Amino acid sequence: MSLSEINLGSIPLSKMLDLAQEHALQSIRNRLARDQAHCLPIFRIDDLARNLVAITAHDRAHLQNCPSCSRLFERVCAERQSQVPRSWIESAGRSLVTSLEPLPLGPAGWSPMRTLPWAESSDQQLEIEWILDRDREQLTLEIRSQLATIADQLIGVQILSEESADGDGGLVRFAQLLPDAEPGWWTTRLRFPTRELIPMHGIGGGVQAAPVQWETLQAIDRADLMRSIRECAPDSPAFVAWQDWGFTIGTDPRLPISFRIELQGLIDSHE
């Protein structure tokens, strides 16, 4: 008997809730049974994501076509990758901007006597500067370059907490440089509410930024990239740039299918 065949008016509320719950559980059971018939076993996905077993052609073909297995695979990969420094920071070389100067943020809030850090990459092509909003509610990280080849790439930013001074963890966001009002410059601004930065990240460890080619993004980066898009206001130039980016790369088969679907969904949902 399906839920729609029951005359709900004649049943007490508690019984009705039991039936609804049983109905929900049954549809989950049905879905699991259906999935298990074709999908990779969960333990196999876990082993693959941890590089414990060699991937077969069948595994690869399935991961390229099945959103739910691809999603699980991405999640386990991201978890594993949170243990290691981001590859785009390790490979940035002279393009890396590092400011290990702690921000003047403490448990008590701002110490207004200190100036905010500014830094540039060792090739002098990428700059970052912290700006405090007048109301002190948020901190803005301005990122700038005059080089078109940098403006063509994504910019990755990692805010290091005191515990993550060795390069692990912290808060990672991605952004795109957009043409600035000042000719010859590309800029972008990432905003962070100070109330989030103070307790959660400490930012005693400073900040790092580098250009990133999207082809080199790992699962953990893709999760942070989705978060970065989600944080943009729907009508902002930054979001419009992400939409363009999504249209351009959203169908590239090199990207996991689960990421492509999530990216498409996010871009559509803001329209």
Contact residues for Zn ion (CB under 5 A)? 39, 66, 69
Burial of residue 121 (CB within 10 Å: 0-12, 13-18, 19+) is buried
User: Nearest approach, Cβ of 57 to Zn ion (angstroms)?
Assistant: 15
Nearer to Zn ion, 74 or 127 (CB): 74
For residue 69, the minimal CB distance to Zn ion (Å) is: 3
Task: Indicate the residue among 66 and 203 with the shorter CB distance to Zn ion.
Answer: 66
The SS3 call for residue 179 is strand
Q: Give dist(CA 116, CA 138) in Å, integer.
A: 13
Residues 6+ apart with CB under 8 A from 145: 125, 126, 127, 151, 177, 185, 186, 187
Question: 173: number of CA atoms within 13 Å, CB side?
Answer: 22
Q: By C-beta, is 30 or 91 nearer to Zn ion?
A: 30
> How far is it, in rounded angstroms, from Cα 139 to Cα 137?
7
Cβ closer to Zn ion: 39 or 255? 39
**Shortest Å, Cβ 98 to Zn ion:** 41
Closest distance of CB 73 from Zn ion, Å: 9
Nearer to Zn ion, 98 or 258 (CB): 258
Per-residue b/e over 171-202, b at no fewer than 16 CB within 10 Å?
bbbbbbbeeeeeeebbbbebbbebeebbeebb
Residue 54 Cβ vs Zn ion, minimum distance, rounded to whole Å? 19
Q: Which is nearer to Zn ion, 66 or 210 (CB)?
A: 66
Q: What is the bridge-based pairing of β-strands 138-145 and 206-212?
A: unpaired
Question: What is the smallest separation between the CB atom of 258 and Zn ion, expressed in angstroms?
Answer: 10
Tokens of residue 239, six digits? 């979001």
Scanning the structure block, which residue is given the tokens 């953990």?
Answer: 220
